[in-house]
Amino acid sequence: MNQHDSTIANPSLKIPDKLFQPAGAWIAILSFSIVSLILIGLGGFGARILNVLFPVASLALGWLLYFRYPILYNGFVWWLFFLTPFLRRICDWRIGAFTESSSSYILLAPFLAVLVCAHSLHFNLSKTREQGTMPFVLAITAVIYGYVIAMIHSQIPIVSVGSIEAIVPLSPIKATVALLEWITPLLFGYHLLVNWERYPAYSQNVKRVFLWGVLIMGIYGIYQFLVAPEWDRLWMIGSGMDSSAGSPVPFGMRVWSTMNSQGPFGDYMVTGLLLLLGCQGGIVAPAAGVGALSLLLSLVRAAWIGWFLGMISLVLSLTPKQKFRIALTLIILTAIIIPLTTIEPFSKAIGPRLATLSNLQDDGSSQVRQATYAILINDALGKVTGEGIGSFDTDSAILVLFFNLGWIGVIPYMGGLIFASLLVFTSKTKNNNDIFIPITRGILIKSLMFLLASPTMRGAHGVVLWGFLGLGLAGRKYYQNYYQQQILSLVSNKSTSK
């Protein structure tokens, strides 16, 4: 849905903060939350009901917010990605057993809520050229192509490469779930772009959401490391994460907080920490402190490097006054974090991982990735039509793209991603007070760097990548139209005065 305003709001105008307003939206959100808590309180019986009810209710509430309260809709989507994996673990704990992903419908909730954005595509597809949405349309077309190929290849034999099962049996259900993971990030970014008039409200909303998200996820992440709650231990052992996420004991876990694993958590936490640089208020410092410490405890090196690259990009884009403010913030954050990381038990977990940054070639996980890439790259580059989305999974984005989409799908998909990224990186605005634009560029650099470590263009990772691409392009279009309107207004006033 794209509701164009007759005038473009002044970019310096701040959206007022109103607690629990509009009332109708918050009544629906609070009812949704209370019912979920009641069902969890009923034990295994309630948890089984919630496993089915939660995704259905998320879709229904997302539908309501999308049409009636579009700003709150965006925040609702982000919170679903923050908290749904944690809710799934609590449900498993209440049931008393680990639930396989194929039977854990609750994890579909954030993707179903984002699927409502397909309305934006329906309403605006005919205006692709005028709205500048071609990069998203190309990528969406590539994903739909991959889904069609997957449906044609209803059953693909398993191909084992060493200990890695690269190509998996594909069913229509598995292909459809994969479609949700691939297409929903694109739909969300597209939705943000076509509603570019709301950019000031969107940017303030996402900063507020991530401010509270970093605080809550950071606090729980530290608690998770210190205590190793039962529900997290159950999930860790049942999912097989004990081979990659540490040990299911206090002080032994690699932190993933409320999310599904340490990779997505690191991605979201870095995104939040970068956004916090544009926030103000009394909770910014404590949020940054617990967020940074939990990020270090995740031991995700790609996230650490991504934060560093994002910060470099941000600093290079700022005015001297903004650079001073950022430097002051970093000094305060460093003064908080360094003492914590040098004491037990934090130093014992963080120190050895930091040491591996200077010698990645000898790291075991890095060597496994390189070996997998070397074995499969020739086969991947030989895929013209691809095997269909959901047919292949590994830690390499390049391998996943070529096996899933083939050359026919990779060219439009990567073409759209590269073109959209270039538009964001090369766009210039005359409003130096809007720090959100350079922050968005920093987040995109971090997200693109993540592609070197894993296929982060889909799922929870993908919502960050494509979502902030949409926000960056929305900001670009917003300022272009705002200043054009200002020029036309001046010309009109001069003509009238003659």
Omega before 169 within 30 of 0, i.e. cis:
no
Residue 488 has pLDDT above 70, yes or no: no
Share of the chain above pLDDT 70, in %: 87
Residue 145 has pLDDT above 70, yes or no: yes
Check residue 160 and give its pLDDT. 44
- pLDDT category at 295 given cuts 50, 70, 90 is very high
137 and 125 Cβ atoms separated by less than 8 Å: yes
Residue 272 has pLDDT above 60, yes or no: yes
Mean pLDDT, rounded, for 381-401: 90
Tell which phi-psi region holds residue 210, choosing left (phi > 0), alpha (psi between -120 and 50) or beta: alpha
> Looking at per-residue confidence, does 433 or 43 come out higher?
43
Residue 365 has pLDDT above 80, yes or no: no
- pLDDT category at 161 given cuts 50, 70, 90 is very low
- Beta strands 159-161; 164-167: pairing state: antiparallel
Supply the DSSP symbol for 144: H
Q: How many Å apart are CA 260 and CA 235, to the nearest integer?
A: 9
> Looking at per-residue confidence, does 156 or 371 come out higher?
371
Q: How many Å apart are CA 251 and CA 254, to the nearest integer?
A: 9
Check residue 176 and give its pLDDT. 94
Check residue 164 and give its pLDDT. 45
Domain ranges of the chain: 20-116, 131-497
Pick the range with the lowest mean pLDDT from 283-297, 388-402, 413-427, 473-487: 473-487
Residue 91 has pLDDT above 90, yes or no: yes
Has this prediction a pTM greater than 0.85? Answer: yes
451 and 457 Cβ atoms separated by less than 8 Å: yes
> Looking at per-residue confidence, does 496 or 419 come out higher?
419
- pLDDT category at 227 given cuts 50, 70, 90 is very high
152 and 410 Cβ atoms separated by less than 8 Å: no
Share of the chain above pLDDT 90, in %: 64
> Looking at per-residue confidence, does 471 or 481 come out higher?
471
232 and 253 Cβ atoms separated by less than 8 Å: yes
224 three-state secondary structure: helix
Each residue's pLDDT tens digit, 456-470: 999 999 999 999 999
- pLDDT category at 353 given cuts 50, 70, 90 is confident
- pLDDT category at 178 given cuts 50, 70, 90 is very high
Paired tokens of 21: 């307003």
Residue 13 has pLDDT above 50, yes or no: no
Q: How many Å apart are CA 458 and CA 404, to the nearest integer?
A: 12
Check residue 1 and give its pLDDT. 45
> Looking at per-residue confidence, does 349 or 336 come out higher?
349
Check residue 243 and give its pLDDT. 74
> Looking at per-residue confidence, does 410 or 368 come out higher?
410
| Mean pLDDT, the chain, whole residue set | 87
Which range, 236-245, 262-271, 447-456, is most confident?
262-271
168 and 156 Cβ atoms separated by less than 8 Å: yes
Each residue's pLDDT tens digit, 441-456: 999 999 999 998 889 9
